[in-house]
């Protein structure tokens, strides 16, 4: 009998919401999970260890055992410092290292805490608490977060204009965004636009109108970008959640 996958998100509460949109759980089905870029970094618990799901720059598939559970906390684009500390997000791009590589023994203690917990939402709560405690020491980069928010619009401001507003050269701002997000502003803008478009595409849209509304040059441009980031044409698009 085929086993379907399940995925659920819950919004975080309090001041964590400024840098984390949600905690989430996934239970794997029979088929590999397709993961697409979202500009985020996640702390995840899977297969008995804590891992960092770095920012993806391409779609990928993750094979999991049927029914295998995964729990995670997602960090908004630009907020990776809460999880990574002084490690640049670009160093974990397209990678999924063990948390111990960044946190050391603190990661091992957290693994001991969640290892015997059968409820995935309680696991998520422990992970969120650990990140909340770190945020006092490793606050998100406010400039990178602001740039990410500005780029998440159909017609975002020019990079040069944002650099001038924050008092940086374009090169300085680009380096800062790469360190905090994992890739530069242009790539981030494309990924965020892809995610917005994919979310709006669930109800069978007028593709030409959606392309115009989301800032694509035309419907063909939208189709190329959908295929680039998801590996599928728009009408077959299935947006996955981070593994």
- Render pLDDT for 154-187 as a digit per residue (tens, 0 to 9): 999 999 999 999 999 999 999 999 999 999 999 9
Q: Which residues contact 102 (CB under 8 A, 6 or more apart)?
A: 52, 83, 84, 85, 87
Any idea which architecture 142-231 has in CATH? Orthogonal Bundle (1.10)
* Contact of 57 with 183, CB cutoff 8 Å: yes
Measured CA to CA, the distance from residue 218 to residue 216 in angstroms comes to 5
The pLDDT assigned to 120 comes to 95
Averaged over 44-69, what is the pLDDT?
92
| pLDDT confidence of residue 239 | 44
Distance CA 68, CA 91 (A): 28
Q: What confidence score (pLDDT) does residue 202 get? A: 75
What span, in angstroms and rounded, lies between the C-alpha atoms of 34 and 61? 4
pLDDT at 210 over 70: yes
The mean per-residue pLDDT over the stretch 1-16 comes to 84
- How many CB atoms sit inside 10 A of residue 159's CB? 19
pLDDT at 3: 62
pLDDT digits (tens, 9 = 90+) for 75-128: 999 999 999 999 999 999 999 999 999 999 999 999 999 998 999 999 999 999
Calculate the CA dihedral of residues 217, 76, 238, 3 and round it to 10 degrees.
Answer: 180
Share of the chain above pLDDT 70, in %: 95
pLDDT of residue 237: 64
Dist. CA 38–CA 35, nearest whole Å? 9
Higher pLDDT: 225 or 234? It is 225
Look-up of token digits 């996958």: 5
Q: Structure pTM? A: 0.91
Question: pLDDT-based confidence at 240, cuts 50/70/90?
Answer: very low
* CA distances in angstroms from 220 to 195, 208, 212, 230, 239, listed in the order given: 17, 9, 11, 15, 20
- pLDDT recorded at residue 28: 83
DSSP 204-226: ---HHHHHHHTT-SSHHHHHHHH
* Angle of CA points 86, 152, 195, to nearest 5°: 95
For residues 84 and 54, what is the distance between their CA atoms, to the nearest angstrom? 10
Please report, for the chain, the start and end positions of each structural domain, with discontinuous segments joined by +: 6-135, 142-231
From 139-148, 191-200, 228-237, the region with the lowest mean pLDDT? 228-237
Q: Tell me the HSE value of 85 on the side-chain side, using a 13 A CA sphere.
A: 10
């Amino acid at each position: 009998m085929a086993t379907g996958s399940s995925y659920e998100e819950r919004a975080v509460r309090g001041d964590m919401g400024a840098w984390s949109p949600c905690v989430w759980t996934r239970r794997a089905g029979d088929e590999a999970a397709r993961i697409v870029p979202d500009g985020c970094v996640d702390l995840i618990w899977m297969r008995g260890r804590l891992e960092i799901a770095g920012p993806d720059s391409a779609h990928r598939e993750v094979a999991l055992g049927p029914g295998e559970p995964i729990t995670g906390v997602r960090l908004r684009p630009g907020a990776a410092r809460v999880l990574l500390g002084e490690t640049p997000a670009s160093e974990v791009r397209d990678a999924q290292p063990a948390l111990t590589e960044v946190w050391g023994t603190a990661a091992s203690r957290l693994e001991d805490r969640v290892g015997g917990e059968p409820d995935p939402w309680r696991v998520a709560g422990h992970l969120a608490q650990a990140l909340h405690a770190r945020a006092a020491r490793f606050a998100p980069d406010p400039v990178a977060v602001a740039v990410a928010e500005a780029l998440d619009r159909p017609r975002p401001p020019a990079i040069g204009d944002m650099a001038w507003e924050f008092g940086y050269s374009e090169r300085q701002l680009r380096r800062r965004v790469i360190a905090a997000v994992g890739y530069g502003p242009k790539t981030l803008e494309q990924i965020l636009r892809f995610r917005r478009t994919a979310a709006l595409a669930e109800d069978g849209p007028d593709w030409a109108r959606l392309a115009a509304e989301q800032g694509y040059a035309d419907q063909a441009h939208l189709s190329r970008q959908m295929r680039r980031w998801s590996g599928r044409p728009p009408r077959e698009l299935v947006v996955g959640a981070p593994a």
